[in-house]
Amino acid sequence: MQSPQVKVLMVCLGNICRSPTAHAVFAQRVGAAGLIHRIEVDSAGTGDWHIGHKPDNRAREAGARRGYDLDSLRARQVCADDFSRFDYILAMDENNLRDLQQLSPPQLRHKIRLFMEFSDSKERAVPDPYYGGPEGFEQVLDLVEAASDGLLDHIRDTELRVR
Ligand code: 4NP
């Protein structure tokens, strides 16, 4: 089997709400495009509180209502190897971006970007839904779906050169 050409890591704080949602949504887009052997997707958190945990029930249920399966995902923390292993290290918000930049070797910092850069939306961040109501999880899905479509277009154009 061909090894994946492009590796994408979705990052938030806990790796139980936003980045697993981004992981599942982007993986669904990659699968629908027939690119699972060429694009690898993973997710991680900058924090360590939820290592080994399933995604938050609210994220799993909101995702399932739109056809995304988050059940097999387990939280892990960002590690030093991630900065060399992944090509795109995508932060959900500015705090995640800053934390990643501090953790990264300086020569690999160019890989770290805000995920929402790939969306047409004016939003810069996927807001943390953890302490809010159910509407926050719907907003996460709306933002993540838009950014996933943009990211897939970008990778097809610039890395894979397929349409
Ligand atoms: P996430 O949400 O970063 O989208 O996974 C959070 C999950 C847990 C916590 C904060 C944010 N927490 O403080 O435990």
Which top CATH class is 6-160? alpha beta
pLDDT at position 161 is 80
Cβ atoms 54, 71 nearer than 8 A: yes
- Name the stretches of the chain with pLDDT < 70: 1-2, 163
What pLDDT sits at residue 1? 53
Give the per-residue pLDDT at 4.
75
Q: In the prediction, which pLDDT does 122 show?
A: 92
Q: Please tell me the distance between residue 49's alpha carbon and the centre of ligand 1 in angstroms.
A: 9
* Å from CA of 3 to ligand 1 middle: 32
Phi, psi of 130 (to 5 degrees): -60, -45
Both tokens of residue 99? 């934390």
User: Residue with the nearest Cα to atom 9 of ligand 1?
Assistant: 14
